[in-house]
Amino acid sequence: MSSIVAVCQFRPTASRADNRARIAEFTADAAARGARLVVFPEYASYFVDPMDATLRENAETVEGDFVRALQATAAAHGVTIIAGLVEAAGDRVRNALVAVDADGLRAVYRKQHLYDAFGQTESDWIEPGVIESPQTLDIDGLRVAMMTCYDLRFPEVARTLVDAGADVIVVPAEWVRGPLKEHHWTTLLAARAIENTVYVVAADHPTPVGVGHSQIVDPQGVVRAGVGTGEGIAVAEVSADAVAEVREVNPVLRSRRYRVIPR
């Protein structure tokens, strides 16, 4: 069992309509290359740098225009789309990921670890997601799970997703630039893949705000496809057989003496 996945490295803006249009364009291109899962960055629905009160003004529910547009685009091309949504949540907003196909919303993930680091305070604007059982979805016989950007620095997040059966972990991000941040990004993507024997499919913003380097990493930590620092698309095959083969020769999951216990 295998599937083709695409990471779309694009630059979301403060125009929600333009973002939806760009997503439709990127999805058409990815689908033409055979992609069945198309992944976009964090904050794909709306983004400003630095963050400000317009986040709340432009937040949407999971029944809003953004998800409806994703559904229409997914239906037009026969794909599943995962993208970042600024979700309405009262005085603050939630940093959410939505997985959408022709039938509608398949799964939602709300960022748990907010980016209060390296001089940034995402919690000024964002409400953290509740820790709950992971939502997963199956695409062509592969189980897909999601986490967001700064979550990548916390190994227990990925471990929880793998314990829920994930073969592929999708990581939409806005990985802010800074000293050695490109190194942190690529190292952590490979580490999460290797230690969990899963594919990691990561979509970032391009420079100058993000670091770029969106990648599809296999269970051995090898980059199967990637983008540089500008906008672009990378496409690669992911295979359940490859996951099984790596786990057979490297039974790290079976050998664990400590397991993540959901709250």
What span, in angstroms and rounded, lies between the C-alpha atoms of 51 and 47?
8
Among the listed residues 8, 42, 60, 182, the single catalytic one is: 42
CA–CA gap between residue 62 and residue 85 (Å, rounded): 8
From 111, 122, 174, 182, active-site residue: 111
Longest dimension (CA), the chain: 51
Closest CA to 250 of 194, 201, 199, 200: 194
Decide if 149 is catalytic.
yes
Phi, psi dihedral angles at 201 (to 5 degrees): -115, 110
- On whether the CB atoms of residues 170 and 82 are closer than 8 A, the answer is yes
Is 25 annotated in the active site?
A: no
H/E stretch holding 257 reads none
Count other Cβ atoms within 10 Å, centred on residue 132.
11
- The residue annotated as part of the active site, out of 8, 60, 87, 149, is 149
Cβ contact 82:37 at 8 Å: yes
Q: In the chain, how many H helices and how many E strands? A: 7, 12
Is 181 one of the catalytic residues? no
Tokens matching residue 16:
């929600």
Instruction: Provide the β-strand partners of residue 239.
Output: 2
Helix (H, G, I), strand (E, B) or coil at 215: strand
**Residues with a known catalytic role:** 42, 111, 149
